Structure 1
Amino acid sequence: MLRLLTMCIPFRNLRKKWRTFLRDFLSDYDRDARRSMRAWRRHPVAGRTILILEPNYCHGEVIPGFCRHLLDMGYRVDVLMHHSLARQSPLCCFKEGDIHIFTAMCTSWKRLAKARVLTRYEAILISTSAFYDIPGWASFLHMTGLDKFANLLAVEHELKDIPRFGEEELDRQGRLLTLGSFPRGMMVNPHFFGEIPPAPRNREPVFITVGSLSAQRKNHELLVEALETVCNEGYRNFSVIIVGEGELGKIPGHLRPFLHVAGKLDFPAMYEAMRRADYFLPLLDPGNPAHNRYITTGVTGSAQLVYGFAKIPVIHEKFASFYGFNDRNALLYREETLGGAMLRAIRQTEEEYAEMQQALLQLGRDIDRESRSNLERALAACSPSEPQQARP
């Protein structure tokens, strides 16, 4: 069909370019997103408004925290995100009217820098500097021309992409943010998911793990081994919630009653599952070289959920200190394995749990304080008053 539609175009390269555009446009078409994008372009932006922009179908978990920081700092906030992410309702923890939310299709991004509405924002915060819809990923800032804006902040989720995307100048100017404390970038860790009061531990403890079911991100074999350890000790009064898309693999029949495989959830359902839980299982494997990135060049989103919901992490010592976890606010393990640490969790008293939870809440407050201070510094590094004009 695309070949028929483009046969009248005389030049081969131009014909190929139009076929690619039409394929991308039709595969990502969303009528509501087109209307929303038009509304955003005509949007009367109020003073002291910051635009948060997420170009991908993921990383919605960072947006609420950035919104909360900016609102608390006295800014107004607009959010522009891909329509597939918006359907997952990442901003469900805010009241209607607190934030203006707009959606877009991927084909809208390449012309984004020409939108005059951008010049009316005090600052633009790109919550993911990479664009994942292109094989091998691409620099969203360079692809759109937003890298020419002097009032722009960008969040880099992978330090190795700083030289690849040419973000050294952003880093030098203090306008490149990271979610963890690294040698490069400025740490801002957003972990707000609503006003969540600390909850007492369930009588029958509930563990939870959230994220893609892939070996590159988590080792679910560790969980199976841990469940065997717990069951061999005779414990049956616990459960594990598994949230995420992918294949879990073969689970022995006698372990299945303890598992609730929820699959991929939207944000409201995931938040509700987090509220029901007591302990969080990041399932990072010290023996997997791929997991080293979570303490060297990137962070695990599990930490944000731990901070935001104050759920005690059960985590290997190798990864703990990078995230501020210690014996006072987390259950750490090394030689005893994950199963041994889960046994300690099951045996915890309500008082021991509450004390550890308070220490974890304090860690979250400390990170919040540092994050807000760093975000204020990053905003101060943006060009004052007038943003740089979009290039023609």
Structure 2
Amino acid sequence: MRKILIFEPNPYHFETLPGLCYYFNQLGYEIDCLVQKHDNYGDEFCKASQLKNKINYTFYDKESILESIKDITNKSEYEFVVLNSFDYGKDGKIHSIYNDIKDIAKSRYGVLGFYHSLSSYYDNKETDVQLLNEGRIFSLSPVKQDDFSFPMVNSNFFKDNEEVAKHKNNRTIITIGTSNDDNDLRKAAAIVKDKTKMPTIIFVGYKTKKELFIAQIKRIIAAIISKIVKSYSTNKKPYPHFMLAFKKNMKLYNKVSFDTMYDLIDSSDFIALNLKQSHLYEFSTCRTTGSKQLALGFSKPCIIEENCANYYGFSSENSIIYKNGHLDDAIQRACLMTDEEYNRMQEAMHALLLRSREESMNNLKMILTDIGCPDNA
């Protein structure tokens, strides 16, 4: 059987490994994975045991990264070394792992892999020039610029059983990662007009509750000072408005293991991609948040800003889209949605998942064929 090595040089990005393994398994490859030890994250295959049983895992220590890939590729005959990501930290700086392994990692057809953002291209285009010229690099969302492009291979496989679960209760909204604006989401959820339909908001991957509470106290103090200053200028008595950092319907989790995160997503109705303004342009033009893969893989409709929705291929059929910062309106629509409306939206997201996989598989086959690897039809 044909054999490949999937290599992750970082202590993160593990969530894209099952999807990458899924595609190569579908193409009939035997798969080895070489990854750093990451007990604190748990098992990224926790809901995909059937696929995991087909994968040979080898763990390495950070200090022995180059020795490990040299050793494993000398012991086995691989058709490819597939990089799950290119950037990695070395001596306090970001480097291209390809530049360090190209002469020591042996395989029949060479190296290919993921760019997770355009910064990888701009940081590594000189060291990765051969791979770029030969079309060996793909990305989580399609990238098209004037002088280069990367086809999409979206890694969105997380669980063996992908039956779409339907919910019949007050809406639960989950937001994952510190690129999202927790303050805006809390405000939007707090002003839902029909209090009997208040959503449950789950925050995953944020700071600790204590740190967030302190941050909220600082915001309140700043708001009081602002109101006092304004009151002196208008001769009006200030009546500062106080809002608790977290209400009863808001649940906060710090960094969690994969099994906990996936259970929380399964129990939710929507994934909110309410990106901070400072991140919005980057994530709507050249970088893909992991929440895109999670929304597709778990068939969960998104609550997402218009520009990001367009870039990620989401539409009003499968997501609630807002613009001009009107997240409050999007939360209101989510809470007032009927079960029938929600189920149709979820089924549309699942249909998008299947189309995304088909496109990704076709793109991967084309890459392999173009660089001379036979029998990928």
TM-score, length-scaled by structure 2: 0.81
Task: Give the secondary-structure state (helix, strand or coil) at the position aligned to 2:191.
Answer: helix
Q: Measured at CA, do residues 289 and 147 of structure 1 come closer, stay the same or move farther in structure 2, by a change above 3 Å? A: farther
Structure 1 gaps, min length 5: 1-46, 386-392
Amino acid at match of 1:315: I
Specify the SS of the correspondent of 2:248: helix
* SS state at 2:247 partner: helix
In structure 2, the partner of 1:206 is 172
Match of 2:86 among 113, 126, 129: 129
> Could you give the per-residue CA deviations for residues 307-333 of structure 1, whole angstroms, max 9, x where no partner exists?
000111011112111111111111011
> Distance in 2 between the 1:303 and 1:346 partners?
21
Given the superposition, is the C-alpha separation of residues 339 and 146 from structure 1 closer, same or farther in structure 2, using an over 3 Å criterion? farther
Classify the secondary structure of the residue corresponding to 1:160: helix
Question: Which moved further from structure 2: 274-283 or 221-230?
Answer: 221-230
> How many Å apart are 1:69 and its aligned residue?
1.1
Root-mean-square deviation over aligned CA pairs:
2.3
Question: Which residue number in structure 1 is paired with residue 53 of structure 2?
Answer: 97
- Determine if contact 1:109/1:144 at 8 Å carries over to the other structure: no
Query: C-alpha distance in 2, partners of 1:372/1:192?
Result: 12
Write the distance in 2 (CA, Å) between the matches of 1:137 and 1:338.
35
Of 199, 208, 221 in structure 1, the residue corresponding to residue 183 of structure 2 is 221
Q: Distance in 2 between matches of 1:354 and 1:242?
A: 23
Q: Name the structure 1 match of 2:337.
A: 348
Deviation at 1:110, TM superposition (A): 2.5
Instruction: Decide whether aligned partners of structure 1 residues 64 and 148 sit closer, same or farther in structure 2, where only a CA change above 3 A counts.
Output: closer
Which residue, 112, 115, 119 being the options, matches 1:160?
119
C-alpha distance 71-363 of structure 1, shift in aligned 2 (>3 A): same
1:76 equivalent to 2:76? Answer no
CA deviation string 1:277-302 (max 9, x = no partner): 001111114xx243311122211111
The answer to whether 1:279 aligns with 2:270 is: yes
Match of 2:282 in 1: 293
1:263 correspondence with 2:254: yes
Superposition map of 1:14-163 within 5 A? 47-84=1-38, 88-92=42-46, 93-95=48-50, 97-112=53-68, 114-115=70-71, 117-118=73-74, 120-132=77-89, 134-145=91-102, 150-163=109-122
Please give the secondary structure, in 2, of the residue aligned with 1:352: helix
Q: 1:244 aligns with which of 188, 199, 205?
A: 205
Amino acid in the other structure paired with 2:367? A
For residue 275 of structure 2, what is the amino acid of its counterpart?
Answer: L
How much has 1:91 moved relative to structure 2? 1.8
User: Number of paired residues?
Assistant: 332
Separation in 2 of the partners of 1:205 and 1:146?
53
**TM-score, scaled relative to structure 1:** 0.79
Would the aligned equivalents of 1:51 and 1:78 in 2 still touch at CA under 8 Å? yes
Distance 1:190 1:314, change over 3 A: same
